């Protein structure tokens, strides 16, 4: 099999559009990745430094409120913190609308899909107060600008980012022999969560040749890594474990406390461990092509990854140029966000139809249906992110939720629905099944016809 423009938009992009032509070839897809990020400018998401400013202001207000107690001023300050929480919650939904609109309007759907792939690989979400709304700013500032660079740069940025540090309990991790722990042994201690997930999920993979000793040594090397809202990421020397640590056979640091440079060096070495190439090659092939990717495709990606030391554009291009990537059989089922966003793209839903919604309506039309389909937006069950297997998404409740959304939401979001006889071609392309064409043409109303197309098995596949 070779490049297929319609399949390229379905499998590697955000679905077919009535206005935007599919990419002409692999070169066009790669050029789209290298082009300026127009969608970020058109549908902005708050950069993480701006989000940190929100957090700094919130903490100041909360601190003053606690100090004032049950006084009139304290009550007023508490009210301001609640207002800031509401503003952050509304912004969180607005950023979700921006993610969808980027997928509706982009000419480089592969960029949007890659951003979400890496966001899922480096799953991270804040735990408390405003930090719970930080995932989109994290994606925007830490991941999106680096998806066309080297994996080691992406790894260092993601693993040491404040959102990841908060998510995996690194904020107060202190070395067993650090001055901080020796001074307050009852209050201080080391946490291995981040170190374990770096080796198991983010780089080497389950079953790779690392030991509990490697996890503990990396955790010791990470002690001192934390953040604050005024400065973002920081490294507190007094929290770091003194002496050297050995991870995967290589020693970092010396007789003094470790530094951030020692940690960064270790992460870059881990990123270039031979096991990483196989783990990430398999994961990319499974995510974009099939639950059971061709071993030859995985081997090709692993080889390119190794030859280029994790140069991501080279790996993406190898994926797009391999014949096994273009076989129509075994296509993945769309995950819920892919389903909703590709439906919005096929319907050409204007940004205002999403961004101008009240919080209540956005939750009813997008967030809650997404949850009923099985995807709780930016609230993962664990650091391994969303399941890749199709079986996880093809369940009775999820299918019922897709059908319900397909039949009801398009007519609510759009004043005028397209003719289903034309829409079936837009949404599914020239290879639309005859049964779906017939159902669309025989529907009693436009809403029914659109719903039948979006609910069809053909539209669920990528």
In this predicted model, what pLDDT tens digit does every residue of 312-339 receive, in sequence order?
999 999 999 999 999 988 899 999 999 9
Please say whether the beta carbons of 9 and 98 come within 8 A: no
Query: Other CB atoms closer than 10 Å to residue 400's CB: what's the count?
Result: 13
Average pLDDT over residues 412-441: 96
Which helix (H) or strand (E) is 232 found in, with range?
Answer: strand 232-235
Q: Return the pLDDT at 257.
A: 73
Cα(362)–Cα(353) distance, rounded to whole angstroms?
10
Question: Is residue 255 predicted with pLDDT exceeding 90?
Answer: no
Please say whether the beta carbons of 221 and 248 come within 8 A: no
CA 150, distance to chain mean position in Å, is 18
Average pLDDT over residues 182-187: 91
Q: Tokens 């640590």 map to which residue?
A: 245
Q: Tokens 């979700």 map to which residue?
A: 96
β-bridge mates for residue 189, sequence order: 173
Band of residue 281 on the pLDDT scale cut at 50, 70, 90: very high
Phi, psi of 257 (to 5 degrees): -60, 145
- pLDDT tens digit string along 242-252? 999 999 999 99
Question: Is residue 442 predicted with pLDDT exceeding 80?
Answer: yes
DSSP 63-75: HHHHHHTTSHHHH
Average pLDDT over residues 265-283: 97
- pLDDT tens digit string along 47-97? 999 999 999 999 999 999 999 988 989 999 999 999 999 999 999 999 999
Phi, psi of 461 (to 5 degrees): -95, 155
Cα(153)–Cα(313) distance, rounded to whole angstroms?
13
């Amino acid at each position: 099999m070779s490049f297929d423009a319609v399949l390229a938009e379905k499998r590697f992009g955000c679905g077919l559009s009535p206005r935007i032509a599919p990419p002409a070839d692999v070169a066009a897809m790669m050029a789209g990745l290298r082009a300026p990020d127009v969608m970020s400018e058109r549908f902005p998401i708050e950069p993480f430094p701006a989000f940190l400013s929100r957090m700094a202001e919130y903490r100041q207000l909360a601190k003053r409120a606690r100090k004032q107690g049950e006084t009139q001023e304290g009550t007023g300050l508490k009210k301001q913190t609640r207002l800031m929480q509401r503003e952050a919650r509304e912004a969180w939904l607005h950023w979700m609308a921006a993610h969808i609109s980027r997928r509706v309007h982009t000419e480089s759907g592969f960029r949007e899909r890659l951003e979400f792939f890496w966001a899922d690989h480096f799953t991270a979400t804040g735990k408390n107060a405003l930090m719970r709304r930080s995932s989109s700013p994290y994606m925007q500032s830490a991941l999106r600008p680096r998806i066309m660079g080297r994996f080691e740069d992406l790894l260092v940025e993601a693993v040491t980012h404040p959102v990841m540090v908060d998510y995996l309990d690194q904020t107060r991790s202190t070395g067993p022999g650090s001055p901080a722990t020796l001074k307050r042994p009852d209050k201080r201690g080391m946490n291995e969560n981040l170190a374990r997930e770096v080796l198991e999920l983010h780089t080497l993979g389950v079953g790779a040749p690392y030991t509990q000793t490697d996890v503990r040594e990396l955790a010791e090397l990470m002690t001192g890594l934390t953040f604050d809202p005024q400065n973002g990421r920081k490294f507190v020397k007094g929290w770091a474990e003194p002496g050297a640590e050995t991870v995967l056979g290589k020693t970092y640091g010396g007789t003094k406390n470790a530094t951030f440079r020692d940690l960064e060096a270790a992460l870059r070495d881990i990123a270039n461990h031979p096991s990483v190439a196989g783990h990430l090659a398999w994961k990319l092939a499974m995510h974009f092509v099939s639950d059971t990717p061709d071993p030859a495709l995985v081997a090709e990606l692993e080889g390119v990854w190794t030859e280029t030391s994790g140069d991501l554009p080279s790996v993406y291009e190898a994926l797009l140029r391999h014949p096994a990537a273009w076989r129509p059989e075994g296509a993945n089922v769309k995950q819920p966000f892919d389903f909703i966003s590709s439906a919005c793209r096929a319907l050409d839903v204007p940004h205002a139809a999403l961004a101008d919604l009240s919080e209540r309506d956005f939750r009813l039309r997008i967030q809650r249906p997404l949850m009923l389909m099985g995807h709780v937006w930016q609230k993962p069950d664990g650091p391994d992110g969303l399941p890749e297997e199709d079986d996880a998404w093809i369940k009775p409740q999820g299918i019922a939720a897709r059908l319900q959304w397909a039949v009801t939401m398009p007519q609510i979001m759009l004043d005028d629905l397209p003719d289903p006889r034309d829409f079936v071609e837009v949404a599914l392309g020239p290879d639309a099944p005859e049964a779906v064409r017939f159902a669309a043409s025989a529907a009693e109303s436009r809403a029914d016809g659109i719903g039948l197309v979006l609910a069809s098995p053909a539209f669920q596949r990528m």
